[in-house]
């Protein structure tokens, strides 16, 4: 029998052995973890990765604005385009739609998105915010947050700070659990807290400064092992790194001299508003902004957006942001290369990477060459690299630099990796231009529609049956919690013959902030009003027929995305804020009856939404009957449904909704967003040709005047059944003709290029064969794509035959553009020669 002390001694020995094994295990784990980790820091010149200063080129791809099956292709195309990193915001209201109820499924699977970036061998920049702006509904904030007691956003407010810290911590912990920070061996090299607060901080006074200090301390306490960013935040609290956002950031200088010059948002184009024109930023100007940034000491640059994508469902903010978030980005909404922008930037990225050592370690000297032309030299012991910039917006420059002449076009930068050869100029685009077309050759037979009315309209507007009763008018988002775009405001008014307002000429007058307002009086439709020209505070007035006795008033308020930007934007009014008045006109006398403080009934949403008529499962519900007779056109508040076969192939699918009014569209029960093809842009302000020279702004180079802001809507292949039938469901609010709806695919229809001599031309029809050469001329041809014309001199060899031999029947082809290949063009003299070519796909 062993003594107690002996047993205790053996027990201690056993525990010590277990402890030593555990310690060894932890040491090994720690060692190998550190071996795989990446040390990310910064100095005054650059972000450093494992002690090496880096030129970093990043691009924004927002995971919820595409489908998860698109992610690998988008990320690989970004990598092929010369990017080092993918940046994304994190969307709080998408992930926490109800307090403490989270959603990271499907295209909200943030971890999967980051791992997809990692699998491609790229870094990630995670902008947690959690305020994101991003033209996203409510700037990414959940509306339940606004409806918490005593809530104020983005300031010293305990309730807000607690919720912000809770969500930020959750995201950080999710990343840590999957070892996704670079300090753990993951791809995330930078993270961001808050967003563009410097633009609004003055509106918050001393509490704004205290809040941004709190943000920095809170973020720093999360110990992520990589630097934190604060974009558009001059004098950001240490150790946060401030950054620049804008169309140009070459003149930006960090407030802190120990911070590198970083650009978190280079706006590659612009977003669209309903009723607005299509924005366009040239490849020449975008490349100019990038080259100027690196010429002036920048080392990290992010494209916002690199792929814009689609605002599925109701995520578009604004208000009035369209469903398409294409942004004129290097990858278009559907994931295709937006040429020439993608290719022109790729060439620049390749050269910048070849200059990484001089740009990050070299001594910098700047030479003023006169007339707004400057040369910048970056010199190390091993190599020198140079830029020559001409920021004059009208005059080309012929300059002498280091004993050699250089022709630098207006508003351009020449890049000389060895300070000798002009390897690239931002104004000389040698990349093809792809002309996108809608292909309906495989279009299925005409859609056979069924329909049904919005069932409860009459019941709602005559019986005032609602979900809530309140005295006075209530803000729409306070009632709906943003569960729906639609809110009924209903009340009753009793009038007798002696009422002072009574006359033969009476009207309903509503002061409104509804984005769209529909009015009914005694079951009769009075009219509607939509917001135009950003005038979201307006007066609606229509003549009405009232009766002696009880009159029923029903106002349908419609929101089209909640405000996403500005100080105190969360408090901006939505819905009908009043006053609401009945007005009687008696000759020159006007008598008003204010009914704003009456008892009002509120009904959230519409019957069809609440009963999910868009769901595939609803088709079998016995109480939800659809009619296939007498298909109505131009009927308000109606539902339509049809089956269709998915277009063949792998090309992106779109649905043409031209002929419809306004509403929402679902494919197999999944919303592809709001539609509004009846809303045309104004007829003025467009140009056929855009001059890249001079500063870009969102109103420069717009096109599609007098046309629908958005006619085509992206249908992701992931939403479709390749075999069997698919279902499209429409909710039509304004009235339209569904018989005009058509499914099409997006293809490259034609390709054009205007390539300077001594360069290569690469032509591709995006996985379709090149079918014919429509035009080719080497010399001094002129014109725009689709209307090229030969010039006064041409190469001796037949350019059309040469291009046809090299390209027709192939998916892509590459040719050297030279006099050797296309023949001498003696008549051109010493003037530069170019190859203009147009091929059909």
β-pairing verdict for 40-42 and 123-129? unpaired
Q: Are 430 and 438 in contact (CB under 8 A)?
A: no
The phi and psi torsions of 678 (rounded to 5 degrees) equal: -80, -5
Which residue blocks in 267-390 are alpha helix, DSSP H? Answer: 283-295, 341-354, 356-361
Among residues 640, 633, 710, which one has the least CA distance to residue 676? 710
Q: Which residues pair with 364 in a beta bridge?
A: 378
The helix (run of H) or strand (run of E) holding residue 162 is: helix 158-177
For residue 340, whether the previous peptide bond is cis, meaning omega lies within 30 degrees of 0, is: yes
Torsion angle of the four alpha carbons 615, 618, 620, 624, in this order, in degrees rounded to the nearest 10: -140
Contacts of 335 (CB under 8 A, 6+ apart): 66, 70, 73, 74, 77, 307, 652
Contacts of 197 (CB under 8 A, 6+ apart): 131, 154, 208, 211, 212, 215, 230, 232, 233
From residue 317, give the alpha-carbon distance in Å to each of 88, 271, 474, 561: 17, 11, 21, 4
Q: Report the 10 Å Cβ neighbour count for 530.
A: 19
- 147-175 burial string, b = 16+ CB within 10 Å, else e? eeeebbbbbbbeebbebbbebbebbbebb
Record the tokens describing residue 360, joined without a space. Answer: 């990050």
* Interatomic CA distance for residues 9 and 275, integer angstroms: 84
Contacts of 537 (CB under 8 A, 6+ apart): 511, 512, 513, 573
* Interatomic CA distance for residues 423 and 309, integer angstroms: 33
Query: Exposed, middle or buried, 659 (CB in 10 Å: 0-12/13-18/19+)?
Result: middle
Give the catalytic positions in this structure: 196, 265
* Interatomic CA distance for residues 727 and 742, integer angstroms: 13
Q: Are 192 and 230 in contact (CB under 8 A)?
A: yes
């Amino acid at each position: 029998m062993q003594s107690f002390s002996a047993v205790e001694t053996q027990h201690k020995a056993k525990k010590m052995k277990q402890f030593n094994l555990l310690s060894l295990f932890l040491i090994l784990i720690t060692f190998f973890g550190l071996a795989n980790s990446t040390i990310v820091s910064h100095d005054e010149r650059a972000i450093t990765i494992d002690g090496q200063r880096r030129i970093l080129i990043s691009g924004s791809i927002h995971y919820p604005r595409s489908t998860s099956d698109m992610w690998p292709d988008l990320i690989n195309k970004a990598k092929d385009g010369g990017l080092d990193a993918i940046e994304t915001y994190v969307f709080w209201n998408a992930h926490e739609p109800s307090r403490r109820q989270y959603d990271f499924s499907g295209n909200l699977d943030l971890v999967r998105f980051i791992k997809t970036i990692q699998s491609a061998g790229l870094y990630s920049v995670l902008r947690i915010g959690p305020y994101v702006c991003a033209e996203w509904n409510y700037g990414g904030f959940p509306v339940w947050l606004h409806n918490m007691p005593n809530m104020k956003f983005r300031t010293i407010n305990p309730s807000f700070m607690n919720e912000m810290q809770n969500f930020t911590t959750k995201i950080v912990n999710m990343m840590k659990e999957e070892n996704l920070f670079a300090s753990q061996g993951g791809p995330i090299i930078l993270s961001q807290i808050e967003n563009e607060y410097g633009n609004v901080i003055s509106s918050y006074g001393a509490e704004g400064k205290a809040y941004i200090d709190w943000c920095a301390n809170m973020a720093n306490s999360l110990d992520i092992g990589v630097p934190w960013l604060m974009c558009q935040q001059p004098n950001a609290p240490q150790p946060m790194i401030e950054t620049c956002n804008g169309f140009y950031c070459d003149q930006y200088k960090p407030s802190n001299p120990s911070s590198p010059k970083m650009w978190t948002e280079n706006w590659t184009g612009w977003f669209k508003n309903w009723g607005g024109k299509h924005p366009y930023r040239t490849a020449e100007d975008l490349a100019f902004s990038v080259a100027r940034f690196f010429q002036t000491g920048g080392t990290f640059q992010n494209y916002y957006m690199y792929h814009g994508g689609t605002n599925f469902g109701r995520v578009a903010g604004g208000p009035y942001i369209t469903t398409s978030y294409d942004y004129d980005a290097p990858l278009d909404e559907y994931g295709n290369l937006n040429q020439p922008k993608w290719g022109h930037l790729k060439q620049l990225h390749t050269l910048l990477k070849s200059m990484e050592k001089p740009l990050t370690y070299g001594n910098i000297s700047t030479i003023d060459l006169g007339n707004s032309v400057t040369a910048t030299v970056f010199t190390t012991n091993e190599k020198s690299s140079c830029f020559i910039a001409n920021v004059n917006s009208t005059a080309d420059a012929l300059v002498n630099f280091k004993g050699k002449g250089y022709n630098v076009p207006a508003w351009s930068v020449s890049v000389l990796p060895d300070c000798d050869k002009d390897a690239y100029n931002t104004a000389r685009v040698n990349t093809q231009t792809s002309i996108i077309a809608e292909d309906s050759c495989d279009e299925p037979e005409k859609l056979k529609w069924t329909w049904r009315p919005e069932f409860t309209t009459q019941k709602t507007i005559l019986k005032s049956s609602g979900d809530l009763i309140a005295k006075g008018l209530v803000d729409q988002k306070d009632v709906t919690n943003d569960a729906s775009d639609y809110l009924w405001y209903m009340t009753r008014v009793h009038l007798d013959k002696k009422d002072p307002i009574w006359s033969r000429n009476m009207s309903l007058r509503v002061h409104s902030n509804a984005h769209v307002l529909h009015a009914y009086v005694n079951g009769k439709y009075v009219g509607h009003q939509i917001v135009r020209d950003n005038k979201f505070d307006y007066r609606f007035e229509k003549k009405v027929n009232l009766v002696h006795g009880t009159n029923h008033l029903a106002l349908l308020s419609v929101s089209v995305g909640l405000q996403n930007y500005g100080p105190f934007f969360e408090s901006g009014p939505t819905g009908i804020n009043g006053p609401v008045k009945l007005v009687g006109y008696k000759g020159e006398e006007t008598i008003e009856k204010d009914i704003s403080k009456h008892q009002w009934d509120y009904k959230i949403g519409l019957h069809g939404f609440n009963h999910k008529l868009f769901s595939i499962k609803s088709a079998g519900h016995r109480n939800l009957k659809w009619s296939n007779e007498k298909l109505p056109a131009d009927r308000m508040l109606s539902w339509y449904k049809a089956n269709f076969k998915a277009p063949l192939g792998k090309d992106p699918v779109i649905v043409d909704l031209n002929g419809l009014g306004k509403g929402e569209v679902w494919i197999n029960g999944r919303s592809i967003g709001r539609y509004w093809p009846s809303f045309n842009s104004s007829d003025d302000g467009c140009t056929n040709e855009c001059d890249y020279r001079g500063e870009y702004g969102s109103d420069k180079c717009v096109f599609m005047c007098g046309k629908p802001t958005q006619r085509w809507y992206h249908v992701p292949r992931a939403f479709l059944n390749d075999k069997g039938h698919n279902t499209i469901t429409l909710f039509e609010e304004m009235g339209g003709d569904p018989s005009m709806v058509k499914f099409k695919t997006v293809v490259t229809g034609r390709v054009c290029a205007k390539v300077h001599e001594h360069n290569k031309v690469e032509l591709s029809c995006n996985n379709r064969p090149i079918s014919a050469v429509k035009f080719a001329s080497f010399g001094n041809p002129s014109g725009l794509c689709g209307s090229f014309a030969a010039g006064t001199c041409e190469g001796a060899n037949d350019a059309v035959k040469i291009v046809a031999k090299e390209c027709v029947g192939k998916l892509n082809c590459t040719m050297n553009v030279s006099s050797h290949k296309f023949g001498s063009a003696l008549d051109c003299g010493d003037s530069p020669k170019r190859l203009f070519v147009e091929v059909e796909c």
